Amino acid sequence: MLLFFHKTMTIRIVTDSASDLPWDFARENNIKIVPLYMMVHDEVLKEDEKFDRDSYYQLFEDEKAFYHIPKLNLHSFVPNTSQPNPQDFEVAYLEQIKEGAKEIIVINVTAGLSGTTNSSNLAAKKVMRKQPDVKIYIIDAKSASYPEVILIRMALNLIKKKKYSGEQIAEILKEQAIKIRTIILLPTIRYLWKGGRLGRFGTAKFALGSLLKKKPIVTMNEEGFVETAGEAKDVHEGLIESLRLSLENAPKEPKAFTIVYGSRKDYAEELVDLIKEKYPKIEIEIAQSGGSVLSHLGPESIGLITDYTDDEHWK
**CATH number of the 180-313 domain:** 3.30.1180.10
User: Do 176 and 313 form a contact (C-beta atoms < 8 A)?
Assistant: yes
The DSSP secondary structure of 89-128, one letter per residue, reads HHHHHHHHHHTT-SEEEEEE--TTT-SHHHHHHHHHHHHH
Q: What is the pLDDT of residue 56?
A: 83
Instruction: Tally Cβ neighbours within 10 Å of residue 62.
Output: 10
First CA to last CA distance, the chain: 14
Amino acid identity for residue 182 in this structure = T
Distances (CA, A) of 95 to 7, 31, 62, 173, 190: 12, 10, 40, 23, 41
Q: What is d(CA 212, CA 163) in angstroms, rounded to the nearest whole number?
A: 53
pLDDT digits (tens, 9 = 90+) for 222-267: 998 888 899 999 999 999 999 999 999 999 999 999 999 999 999 9
Please report, rounded to a whole number, the percentage of residues in the chain having pLDDT higher than 90. Answer: 67
Q: What is the pLDDT of residue 238?
A: 97
Q: What is the pLDDT of residue 80?
A: 76
- Phi and psi, residue 305, nearest 5°: -105, 125
- Phi and psi, residue 221, nearest 5°: -85, 180
Q: Are strands 135-140 and 103-108 parallel, antiparallel or unpaired?
A: parallel
Predicted model pTM: 0.89
Q: Of 51, 85, 63, whose CA–CA distance to 294 is shortest?
A: 51
Q: What is the pLDDT of residue 309?
A: 98
The second-level CATH assignment, the architecture, of 11-36+84-177 is 3-Layer(aba) Sandwich (3.40)
Q: What is the pLDDT of residue 41?
A: 73
The DSSP secondary structure of 72-98, one letter per residue, reads --GGGSSPEEEPPPHHHHHHHHHHHHH
Q: What is d(CA 111, CA 93) in angstroms, rounded to the nearest whole number?
A: 20
Residue ranges of the domains in the chain? 11-36+84-177, 37-82, 180-313
Q: What is d(CA 139, CA 117) in angstroms, rounded to the nearest whole number?
A: 8
Q: Of 102, 168, 110, 105, whose CA–CA distance to 138 is shortest?
A: 105
pLDDT digits (tens, 9 = 90+) for 44-102: 889 999 998 888 888 776 654 444 334 333 444 567 788 999 999 999 999 999 999 99
DSSP state of 165: -
Q: What is the pLDDT of residue 128?
A: 98
HEC per residue, 190-204 = HHHHHCCCCCCCCCC
Please report, rounded to a whole number, the percentage of residues in the chain having pLDDT higher than 70. Answer: 83
Instruction: Tally Cβ neighbours within 10 Å of residue 20.
Output: 27
- Neighbouring residues of 207: CB distance < 8 A, sequence distance ≥ 6: none
